[in-house]
Structures are given as C-alpha cells and as structure tokens.
Structure 1
C-alpha cells in the first residue's frame, strides 16, 4: 500500500503528540527541582499547561484523519523524559543542563510544527494549519524566553555555587 501525503501528515501529528507527552513530563519534573529559581519554575509550569492543551489539540487533528495518537510513541516519549529527569538528579549543575535541554527541545518542537504547518497547508487542511501555527507560536515564545533568561539563570547558579564553595 502506498503512503499518501495525508498518511505522512498523520504520522507527523502522532510524532508531535508523543513529543508533547514527553515535554509535559519533562516540564513537570524539572519544575519540581528548580525551587531556587522561582521565575523559571513558574514559566515551566505555565508551559506545562500549554503543553497539555497542545496535546489535546493535536488529538483533534488526528481525529480528522480518523487515527489516534500512538500509545507506543507516547510511552517512549514519557520514558525518555523520565530518564532525563532521573539523570538530572546526579549532577550539581542540573538547572544549567536542564536549561540547555529545554532550549534544544523547544527548537525541535518549532521545527516539527513548521513542517506540520507546511504539510497541512499543502493538503489544504486549514484547521490543522491554524492549530499548529498557534502551537508553533507558543513553542517559539518558550524557546525565546529560555534563551533570554539563560544568562540570568546561569549567573544565579554561579553565584549560588560561589557561596556554597
């Protein structure tokens, strides 16, 4: 059976749903461990709420293609997020490494949604274009926020380390 353009879009939407499942878990576990960084913690929790909504919106797109999210991909995403959060427990600079991972992950999401929007536009699926353009904007805003705050967070981390040394 040949793969259609709509099949590819549905596959990419399933990937996006799994990515959001992973992001939700990563955001929550990271937020739990960055109490010394209240502004970062609050923004992570805000984005976790956005992420839950994004996953729900992606499911509505999948429903139009008469398919659903991939339980296997969702589980793999959650397992990856769990492994990342556990590995953070063993490093003293977890907030900095988490910041780097967060910036990288947000840019991966921006790339994924850019591709989905282009594909949906090509297929004339205006509802998916609208939904994923909104999600793309939220992901881009989160990436920009993390990048803007990175120097401040690193300074705060280094200052705290200097006083504990």
Structure 2
C-alpha cells in the first residue's frame, strides 16, 4: 500500500469512529428530547444518515484491504455518551445539546473536507465521491442547526418561565 493510501485509510478509520460517536450522541439526545419535536425529528433523520455514512465508510475501508477499529469505535461511543451525559445535569440541556451538535457537525465537515483531498491524492475516486456525499449531509445538518438555534433558544426561554424541567428537555 502506498503512503497516500495508508494515510487515507487511517483517516477513514478515524472518520468511522467519529460517526460512531455521532451515533451515540444522537441516540442519547433523541431519547432525552421531550418538548422539541422539530429538533427531535431532524436528529432522527440525521441519525439515519449517520448509520448509512458508517456503512459507506466501512465499504471504503474494506475496499482498501482493511477493517475499522473496534477499539477506536468503542472509545468514540463512550466519549459521545459522556458528552451528552454531562449536559443532563444542566438546566438548559436542550441548548447545550444543540450547541454540541453544531460544533460536532463542523468537526465532521472539516474531516470530510480533508478526506476528499486525501482521496484525490490517493487516486481513489470512489472514496472521494462517498466523502462528498457525506460532506453534503453534514453541511445540511449544520446549516439547519445554525438556522434554528435562535428559534430553539426562544422556545427554551419561554418554557423556562413555566418550568425548567419542561424547558430543559
């Protein structure tokens, strides 16, 4: 394997672990969300995309003659669970979760931007195409979150006047 393909493979494995972390964060947030149906709906849709993205990354990794790292994936899932768990104790759980999600989407955008370059450099047009599709999905979710943060904050602030317990989830 060339150095270029080796680097691409390493980064694909990292991206797969990142998507496992995203899956865990999304599942936990979806489970905890009670009073924000639009946010919950978009998170459910993005969870489906995330699982599909993992499958696509697995295909790229397999095509390059390797397999994803169970240790990296397991560690990433624990980190994802920890991120959401830390917000459970805050009075503005939904807001902190939305901010964390937007930050994570931007991490994914950066990752897939670099993966596209690495795939081009390794002459792997199939991986490049897959990463371009995933990048589009990540940008779409990031844009939706950014466009809806203000509305989410207003809904939280209105609900918090009645009950923090209702507002936070």
Residue 123 of structure 1 corresponds to 122
Distance 1:73 1:164 in 2: 40
User: Where do 1:114-153 residues align within 5 Å?
Assistant: 114-153=113-152
Please list the CA deviations of residues 36-80 of structure 1 after superposition, one character each: whole Å capped at 9, or x if unmatched.
Answer: 000000100110000000000000000111011111110110000
Please list the CA deviations of residues 75-107 of structure 1 after superposition, one character each: whole Å capped at 9, or x if unmatched.
Answer: 110000111122122111011111110000000
For the residue of structure 1 that corresponds to 2:138, the secondary structure is helix
TM-score (ref. length: structure 1) = 0.96
Shift of 1:3: 7.5
The gaps in structure 2 that reach 5 residues or longer are 165-169
Distance 2:46 2:92 in 1: 22
User: Where do 1:102-121 residues align within 5 Å?
Assistant: 102-121=101-120
Flag as ranges the 4+ runs of structure 1 deviating above 2 A.
none
The gaps in structure 1 that reach 5 residues or longer are none
Contact 2:4 2:121 in 1 (8 A): no
Distance 1:105 1:51 in 2: 13
Residue 93 of structure 1 corresponds to 92
CA RMSD of aligned residues (A): 1.3
Distance 1:62 1:46 in 2: 25
Shift of 1:12: 0.2
The total of aligned residue pairs comes to 164
Distance 2:52 2:163 in 1: 40
Distance 2:66 2:52 in 1: 19
